Amino acid sequence: MVKKKIFINIGEYKVSKEPIILECIGLGSCVGICLWDRKKKIGALAHVMLGRSSDSHLSDINPFRFADKAIDAMLSDMLALGAKKENIVAKIFGGGNLFRQSGFKIGEKNVVIVEEELRKKGIPIVAKDVGGNHGRSIWFDTSTGKVVVGGPFIETKEY
């Protein structure tokens, strides 16, 4: 059976209890955050661009561009579908520094904030593929919790 695929753009997230594939294409400094309830098989994927909404005066334009707002929304929606917080795990991907010359290290900062926000919520990170100077694309199967990571300059891996 071929599963439906849903593309998650920057500043978007999707939660599903149906067996689907959630995908983010071209994660550079952005971070793809996968949350999965291992028992209920409820999955969520966010494509976040920045860390905390409190660090920006533009947080009301699209709050889900920010890791803190996206994680809160995903957890809330997952719990509403029947997920149990103690069964939820996280996998994170991206956070690359594609513009090494700029010195901003936005990707690194994004990863640190995502990790801090998940820790504050008590969500363990069970897998990650972050950093480096390359982009990634991810495909998250909500029925199994598996994430395939690939890109033009990296070997395809499964987490």
- Give pLDDT, residue 113: 96
- Give pLDDT, residue 50: 84
Q: Is residue 11 part of a domain?
A: no
The catalytic residue positions are: 30
pLDDT tens, residue by residue, 8-33: 999 999 999 999 999 999 999 999 99
- Give pLDDT, residue 56: 60
Q: Is residue 14 part of a domain?
A: no
Q: Is residue 127 part of a domain?
A: yes
Q: Is residue 21 part of a domain?
A: no
Domain encompassing residue 73: 27-151
Over 87-141, what HEC string results?
HEEEEEEECCCCCHHHCCCHHHHHHHHHHHHHHHHCCCEEEEEECCCCCEEEEEE
Q: Is residue 134 part of a domain?
A: yes
Annotate 7-75 with DSSP letters as a single string.
E--TT-EEEESS--EEEEEEESSSEEEEEEETTTTEEEEEEE-BS-GGG-TTTTT-GGGBHHHHHHHHH
Q: Is residue 128 part of a domain?
A: yes
**Phi, psi at 65, each rounded to 5°:** -70, -15
Q: How many domains in the chain? A: 1
Percent of the chain with pLDDT over 70: 91
Q: Is residue 114 part of a domain?
A: yes
CATH of the domain at 62: 3.30.1330.200
pTM (two decimals): 0.92
